[in-house]
Amino acid sequence: MNKKIIKQGLLDSIKKMDVRYMIKNPVMFVVEIGFFLSVILTFVPTAFGDPDASMQVINGIVAFILLLTLLFANFAESLAEGRGKAQANTLRQTKKDMMANRILPDGSFERIAASMLQRGDRVRVVAGETIPNDGEVIEGVATVDESAITGESAPVVKEPGGDFCSVTGGTTVTSDALLIEITSEPGASFLDKMIAMVEGASRKKTPNEIALSTLLVSLTLIFVIVIVSLKPLAMYVGITIPTSILIALTVCLIPTTIGGLLSAIGIAGMDRVTRFNVIAMSGKAVEASGDVDVMILDKTGTITYGNRMAYAFLPVAGIQEAMLAQYAVIASLDDNTPEGKSILSLATTKGIHVDDTLRDGATFQEFTAQTRMSGYERDGLVVMKGAADAIKTYALNRGQAIPSDLDEHVNAVSKLGGTPLVVIKNAEILGVVYLKDTIKEGLVERFARLRAMGIKTIMCTGDNPLTAATIAQEAGVDGFLAECKPEDKIDVIKQEQAQGKVVAMTGDGTNDAPALAQADVGIAMNSGTIAAKEAANMVDLDSDPTKILDIVEIGKQLLMTRGALTTFSIANDIAKYFAVLPALFVASVPALGVLNIMHLNSATSAILSALIFNALIIPALVPIAMKGVKYRPTSSDALLSRNLLVFGLGGIITPFVAIKVIDLVITPLLLWAGI
């Protein structure tokens, strides 16, 4: 942890002692009231009717321990906020003194501060300059370094139209130039939202956190009532309990541990999402990701690359695969489409290399909707590739018979959801190039892990049912929706939500925006359109759909951490009952001796030992609150059993041991001080 963050955290811990701030956390507010009352009793021991003025030293010790408890709790929250503020300051440097070249109606340029840009303005950004605000490329092709935002060092090609037209303010153009239309208002860019999010300025309590806070307040109120009732009960059996001891007893029994760590857990959870290069628009989105039951995924650009790539060469009878590959490459020498480049790449993996001199003097035919073919011609050699029916017509017109097994290859590829590309040399058909929409790396394994968590995955695509079924089987999703329109995606989300399911949706296109807005967790790819990113409540800056699993695991880790520390905190109270109550009453009610299993030295040492443990356990648990409980994909029953065993049983045993050790340490000191 950075020393500067720790130093600032210590200062903020003191600032947070402000009553106006502490009242937002009712549990710790009760502790602060107890601290102020103990301070008063330190200087005026009989202020609240206590007859024994000799309690002044004890009152001071109680006040000091309560002060440490408050500072430790505030420090935990300050550390979590400090990490976010440090990251926000780094991001803010990206915006500092940013300038823009705004294009005026007459075509001239105006140099203005980026903060002055309005939605709809057009700016020109050249190599070496920083993109001033979020926008869409409307002219030019250039590489953009997005490492300041995403952490990825490799530049990304940006061009008009499609999925790669969106640019983010604060990123740098590394080559050529772009004409960009600004799409966000000043102060509303994704960089601004990210800064606000990591600082915690816009963080609101989630429903789960509100429910837990309500539980903690209820427990606190119950224990306050119990402690208030304890004094007349003690007087009835002939015991006088000083006010400072009652205050200490209240602090020991109310759930101060989780009360002090609750905010830190929530802030740290959002911080972990940010460190995975994901902008979460709210804490609710992070928390909801931990409860996801169903994952809806767009196919193109999310599950698949979106471009059909060469997968196999299927020669007809009498033709060698190497020969088919060689002439497929020749037909693709001037084909700069993803499909054409993939044919060259596949051939290279099979050891096929074509001499570049074949380009000299050659004529290349581009693909058109009319011919549905493209190819190469030189010195009487004509090599074409294209749609099966177009190539068959081309061969028949030249008096060439169609190979008997050509239709078999074409139909086989079509049934698998691929695209058959037929290659012909002069008038001789050589075979088929199998083009398929390729699954992104790592998705199959990640879908398997989601399944292990009990999360159902559904793929939505506009493809026909045959193609959709093939892609779904290869990707390993649990279901698919073919020939899917935007309204169909919304319908399937609503159907799942109607069954009480928490639904997550990922997408990158404008047609995904309505579904992203409907989903409980909408995750948009940063490479996607502005509409998609504005509709979602999370944006993946790396545009990596495999990160879905990381987001879900962070959400589950947040919920587990909160549940684990709550279990530990409440379990602590069991040990405190056995430490404090028997020691207070055993002298007047000997029958309680059977409960005095810890055999602490005295009622005073028992109270102080429990109080000291109560203060020290908060900083001891800060690393767990910040890092989170480790999550392993398993069933809910197994997670509950593990939590109860580790944090429930641990929460009972730890205080017994720690309080006894503290009692052994402070007893000689109390005797030395005559207490």
CB 287 within 8 A of CB 343: no
Axis-axis angle for helices 207-236, 243-253 (nearest 10): 150
Write a three-state SS string for 240-304. CCCHHHHHHHHHHHCCHHHHHHHHHHHHHHHHHHHHCCEEECCHHHHHHHCCCCEEEEECECCCE
Single out the catalytic residue among 50, 134, 192, 298.
298
CA gap 270, 197 in Å, rounded:
8
CA gap 538, 569 in Å, rounded:
32
CA gap 634, 451 in Å, rounded:
10
Listing from the earlier edge strand, what are the strands of the sheet with 521-525? 278-280, 538-540, 521-525, 503-507, 294-298, 456-460, 479-481
| Those residues with Cβ within 8 angstroms of residue 532's Cβ, 6 or more apart along the chain or in another chain | 507, 508, 509, 510, 512, 513, 516, 524, 525
Return the amino acid letter for 23.
Answer: I
- Residue 160, classed as helix, strand or coil, is coil
Is 356 part of the annotated catalytic residue set? no
CA gap 659, 341 in Å, rounded:
71
| Those residues with Cβ within 8 angstroms of residue 610's Cβ, 6 or more apart along the chain or in another chain | 248, 252, 576, 579, 580, 655, 659
Phi and psi at 386, nearest 5°, equal 175, -165
> Which residue in 615, 624, 609, 611 sits closest to 670, CA to CA?
609
Name the helix (H) or strand (E) containing 228. Answer: helix 207-236
Query: Which amino acids are annotated catalytic?
Result: 298
